């Protein structure tokens, strides 16, 4: 069986950089909503190869890889497995695929980066110098979470050199489970979203929607309070509600349907500022349940950087620091949502943007990437020192 399908014919076009590779195991696909994995891995790809390994897809024929390069130096690797392969068989095939990938592409002493413990077993044949667990969500709280997740996360904590968390709530939940846990809340590419302040061209599918508008951009799943949206839309008939993003893990028929609620589907990250520029308020209508207990929404700083007043339910990592600093209006139900919108639209926009700029100045993805890189460098030096004694300084730095 040729487990390197799509590899050998393409690998020669990539020159291996001096900096060690990052092999990222992600449950979120690269072309899904552009968020934390994409922000960080695109920055690592500026100085090294990044192998972005996704969940498998089932296909005809033998096991192999679907390989592509969405951005320079980032090699997207999707396992293709034969139809009918059982879960244990899938793990064994992907283990072989990863070993072949490592051999054929010369991956050695890499940074193994995990977004989910469920992929831990895939990397048995990978020679890693540093293991990172970037815990951006408490996946065990999500609907349909695998029962093995707890055990695999415990094992990942045992292997990891570093644990990063996507917000303060997750940090507090994980800090006693590992010796080196570091908080990295949702960051922002402020310049990208600042474009909303200067854009005057409404996208075609939004142009026909009347003003004023309240908008949401993100995944629409069990974390969204559909009753709140329905109640607010019923009480605010002169406002239009714009919902951008894919519908995932819930029945589309369960979505509230009113004349002033508009579902525009998923949009590219590059186009989000154009949509935001046509909104009057940004909203984060999250339900308060197990799946939202530890989230740190990336949309909070993105809305703010776009110049939008923001209304949100009481998500812990939004209340603190955004609500406490008066940057986001915190609401609890449809009635308080209506009241909150009235309050934020009366705010002084110049003063709000000034305060937002001051707060977001230290929260860029570039700063987060640099801080993570420094921690990886130190962890790598400790690992190499332990394995190579005084000769470890001859090995290239893990910081790029």
Assess whether 48 and 175 both reside in one domain.
Answer: yes
Q: Do 172 and 155 belong to one domain? A: yes
Asked if residue 400 is part of any domain, the answer here is: no
Find, among 179, 131, 154, 124, the residue nearest to 24 by Cα.
Answer: 131
Identify whether 399 is part of a domain.
no
- My answer on whether 78 and 55 are in the same domain is yes
| pLDDT score of 360 more than 60 | yes
- Tell me if 94 is assigned to some domain: yes
1 inside domain:
no
One domain for residues 76 and 115: yes
Residue 239 shares a structural domain with residue 312:
yes
pLDDT band at 397 (very low <50, low <70, confident <90, very high): low
In percent, the amount of the chain with pLDDT more than 70 equals: 91
**265 and 151 together in one domain:** no
Q: Is the dihedral of CA 31, 44, 55, 80 positive or negative?
A: positive
Q: Which range is most confident: 14-18, 137-141, 235-239?
A: 235-239
Task: Give the other-Cβ count within 10 Å of 376's Cβ.
Answer: 24
Res. 342: pLDDT tops 50: yes
Residue 191's contacts (CB-CB under 8 Å, 6 or more residues apart) are none
What's the pLDDT tens digit per position in 152-164? 999 999 999 999 9
Using 50, 70 and 90 to split pLDDT, how confident is the model at 7? Answer: very low
pLDDT of 139? 77
Whether pLDDT at 100 is above 60? yes
Q: Are residues 46 and 169 in the same domain?
A: yes
**Tens of pLDDT, residues 211-270:** 999 999 999 999 999 999 999 999 999 999 999 999 999 999 999 999 999 999 999 999
Pair (246, 305) in one structural domain:
yes
- What's 313's domain CATH number? 3.40.50.2000
Is the predicted pLDDT of residue 138 greater than 90, yes or no? no
Instruction: Burial-class residue 351 by CB neighbours within 10 Å (0-12, 13-18, 19+).
Output: exposed
Residue 34 sits in the same domain as residue 80: yes
The band of 146, judged by pLDDT with boundaries at 50, 70 and 90, is: confident
Residue 208, domain member (yes or no): yes
294 and 152 both lie in a single domain: no
- What is the model's pLDDT at position 6? 44
List of residues 6+ apart from 133 with CB closer than 8 A: 114, 117, 156, 157, 160, 162, 163, 164
User: Does residue 226 lie within any of the structural domains?
Assistant: yes
In a domain, 212, yes or no: yes
Q: Domain residues for 282?
A: 190-360
The answer on 353 and 244 residing in a single domain is yes
In a domain, 99, yes or no: yes
Cβ burial 273-287 (10 Å sphere, 16+ → b, else e):
bbbbbbbbbbbbbbb
| Number of domains, the chain | 2
* Predicted TM-score of the model (pTM): 0.91
Same-domain pairing of 381 and 318: no
């Amino acid at each position: 069986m040729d487990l390197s399908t799509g590899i050998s014919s393409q690998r020669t076009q990539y020159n291996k950089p001096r900096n060690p590779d990052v092999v990222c195991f992600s449950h979120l696909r690269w072309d899904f909503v552009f968020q934390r994995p994409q922000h960080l891995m695109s920055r690592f790809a500026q100085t090294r190869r990044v192998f972005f390994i996704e969940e498998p897809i089932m296909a005809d024929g033998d096991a192999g890889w679907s390989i592509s390069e969405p951005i320079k130096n980032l090699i997207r690797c999707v396992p293709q497995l034969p139809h009918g392969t059982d879960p244990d068989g899938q793990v064994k095939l992907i283990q072989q695929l990863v070993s072949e990938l490592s051999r054929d592409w010369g991956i050695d002493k890499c940074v193994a980066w995990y977004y989910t413990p469920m992929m831990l077993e895939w990397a048995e044949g990978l020679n890693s110098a540093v293991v990172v667990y970037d815990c951006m969500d408490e996946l065990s709280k999500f609907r349909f979470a695998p029962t093995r997740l707890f055990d695999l996360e415990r094992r990942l904590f045992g292997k990891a050199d570093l644990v990063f968390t996507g917000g303060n709530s997750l940090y507090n939940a994980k800090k006693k489970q590992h010796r080196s846990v570091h908080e990295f809340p949702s960051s922002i590419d402020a310049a990208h979203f600042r474009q909303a302040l200067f854009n005057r061209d409404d996208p075609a599918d939004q142009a026909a929607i009347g003003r004023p508008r309240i908008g949401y951009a993100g995944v629409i799943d069990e974390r969204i309070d559909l009753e709140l949206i329905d109640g607010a839309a019923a009480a605010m008939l002169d406002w239009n509600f714009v919902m951008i993003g894919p519908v995932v893990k819930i029945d589309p028929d369960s979505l509230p349907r009113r004349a002033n609620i508009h579902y525009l589907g998923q949009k590219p990250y590059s186009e989000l500022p154009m949509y935001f520029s046509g909104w009057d308020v940004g909203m984060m209508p999250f339900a308060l349940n197990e799946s939202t207990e530890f989230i740190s929404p990336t949309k909070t700083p993105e809305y703010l950087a776009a110049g939008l007043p923001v209304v949100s339910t009481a998500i812990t990592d939004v209340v603190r620091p955004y609500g406490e600093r008066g940057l986001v209006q915190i609401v609890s139900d449809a009635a308080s949502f209506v009241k909150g919108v009235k309050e934020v639209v009366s705010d002084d926009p110049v003063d709000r943007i000034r305060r937002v700029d001051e707060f977001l100045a230290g929260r860029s993805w570039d700063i987060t990437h640099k801080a993570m890189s420094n921690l990886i460098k130190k962890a790598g030096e400790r690992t190499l020192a332990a394995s190579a004694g005084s000769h470890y300084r001859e090995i290239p730095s893990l910081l790029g």
